[in-house]
């Protein structure tokens, strides 16, 4: 398994021409998947970096436990069941063949195992990915066998290398070649060797099962290159503060997942936002489908398309009955000044007027941040609040402008948040 170890390590850590990963950076990633002592369904992150694995695991764990988080404290067995079910689900989603691979150490869970405390010193601080290569893998052929093996390795996932061992398991289950075929720039590792942040490809792999580098819907072409995006509605979602700064555009497949749970991305960290109301993620309405299709013809997110593309948009939405006459009529109606463009808002108003989204005016929400230092009183706990979703900006209910709110406004433009704590939760 030595050569295979090197392939995995190179995919995760190695950038051509770099000096490798420093021991201090690697140390930040050597932690287990462990629950907070104060919030029994929330995973704790000791240092910056591994949120790229911990947040996706938490988002799936929240899917398992979100209906009962305020009812009782989970027992150790319930924690074990929730975590192992989550890990099996992520591995199942990533699997590209009929077999699954679970990576562990040949002797024991991990060298220098500590279950609940970060590494703070000692001789092991000089170790790097090359020093701590996994040396055993278990291949299972069925989903039932996978679930049994994941449960049997529970102490391994909790051990000091649990995050990395699970990451390596996902990579080998997906297949190194398959991952390299999906990543846009194969010279970039899944973890930045300078700052230790996980790439978007890594987050997408754990959230959707595909290691694509972008968050838009479908594929796009740029200068003859095909850039891969998300191809199906995700089970859990992703929103990012970077969209509010216009650095990227998250597509509908991640913005509107099957369950009301989203990873929230800041410039340096990942946290989780979720609710219990399934109506927040009801099946795509005709107007939402129209908005998504329109935006595929507007990749720059300008809010308009050239009128020459109107017929293609209408055909994609089955709105064309008589192409020559009807499209011409719609062009003149949607572009009365003859500017040669069609705006999104008038287009939706013309074809999909007065459509009710079905979203309640207010609903309970929860925010999770795995870093102790980012939580009130330095305790990893869910922050509960109430979201108000309006169809317009109402100065009477305007709340503080925070990064969490700006991130959520990329999905709900007029959302307001009333948290039950003295301060708003942190994205960082």
Residues serving a catalytic function are 51, 269
Residue 198 half-sphere exposure toward CB, CA atoms < 13 A: 26
Q: How far is CA 130 from CA 8, 9, 257, in A?
A: 10, 7, 37
64 touches 82 (CB < 8 A): yes
241 touches 271 (CB < 8 A): no
Alpha helices (H) along 187-269: 200-208, 241-244, 252-255
Q: Residue 414 is encoded by which pair of tokens?
A: 């007029």
Phi, psi of 150 (to 5 degrees): -60, -45
DSSP annotation of 83 reads: H
Give the Cα separation of 51 and 2 in Å (integer): 28
Q: Residue 206 is encoded by which pair of tokens?
A: 């754990």
Q: Residue 351 is encoded by which pair of tokens?
A: 């074809």
Q: Determine the 3-state secondary structure of 275 from DSSP.
A: strand
**CA-based radius of gyration for the chain:** 23
60, with CB counted inside 10 A (0-12, 13-18, 19+), is buried
What pairing do the DSSP bridges indicate for beta strands 225-227 and 341-343?
Answer: unpaired
> 342 has which bridge partners?
305
Q: How far is CA 98 from CA 91, 95, 204, 211, 423, in A?
A: 12, 7, 21, 19, 48
Q: Which of 415, 66, 412 is nearest to 272 (CA)?
A: 66
Q: Determine the 3-state secondary structure of 322 from DSSP.
A: coil
Sign of the alpha-carbon dihedral angle for 156, 161, 165, 167: positive
> 30 has which bridge partners?
none
């Amino acid at each position: 398994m030595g050569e295979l170890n090197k392939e995995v390590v190179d995919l995760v850590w190695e950038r051509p021409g770099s000096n490798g990963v420093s021991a201090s950076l690697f140390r930040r990633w050597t932690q287990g998947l462990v629950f907070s002592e104060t919030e029994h369904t929330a995973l704790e992150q000791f240092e910056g970096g591994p949120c790229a694995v911990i947040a996706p695991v938490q988002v799936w764990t929240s899917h398992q436990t979100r209906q009962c988080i305020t009812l009782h404290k989970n027992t150790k067995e319930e924690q074990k069941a929730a975590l192992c079910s989550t890990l099996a689900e992520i591995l199942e989603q990533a699997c590209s063949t009929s077999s699954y691979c679970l990576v562990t150490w040949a002797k024991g869970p991990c060298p220098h195992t500590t279950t609940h405390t970060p590494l703070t010193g000692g001789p092991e601080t000089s170790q790097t990915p090359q020093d701590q290569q996994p040396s055993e893998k278990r291949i299972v052929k069925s989903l039932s066998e996978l679930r049994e093996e994941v449960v049997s390795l529970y102490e391994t996932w909790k051990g000091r290398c649990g995050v990395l061992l699970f990451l390596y398991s996902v990579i080998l289950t997906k297949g190194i070649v398959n991952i390299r075929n999906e990543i846009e720039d194969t010279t970039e590792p899944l973890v930045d060797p300078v700052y230790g942040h996980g790439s978007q490809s890594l987050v997408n792999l754990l959230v959707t099962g595909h290691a694509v580098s972008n968050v838009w819907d479908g594929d796009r072409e740029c200068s003859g290159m095909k850039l891969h995006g998300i191809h199906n509605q995700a089970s859990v979602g992703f929103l990012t503060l970077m969209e509010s700064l216009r650095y990227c555009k998250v597509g509908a497949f991640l913005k509107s997942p099957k369950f009301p749970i989203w990873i929230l991305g800041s410039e340096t960290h990942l946290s989780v936002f979720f609710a219990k109301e399934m109506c927040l993620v009801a099946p795509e309405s005709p107007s939402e489908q129209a908005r998504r299709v329109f935006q595929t013809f507007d990749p720059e997110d300008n809010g308009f398309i050239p009128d020459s593309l109107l017929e293609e948009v209408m055909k994609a939405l089955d709105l064309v009955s008589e192409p020559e006459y009807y499209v011409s009529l719609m062009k003149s109606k949607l572009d009365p000044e003859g500017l040669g463009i069609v705006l999104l808002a008038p287009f939706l108003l013309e074809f999909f007027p007065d459509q009710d989204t079905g979203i309640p005016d207010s609903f309970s929400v929860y925010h999770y941040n795995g870093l102790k230092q980012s939580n009130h009183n330095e305790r990893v706990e869910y922050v509960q609040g109430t979201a108000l979703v309006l169809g317009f900006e109402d100065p009477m209910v305007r709340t503080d402008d925070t990064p969490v709110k700006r991130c959520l406004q990329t999905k709900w433009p007029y959302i307001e948040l009333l948290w039950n704590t003295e301060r708003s939760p942190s994205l960082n």
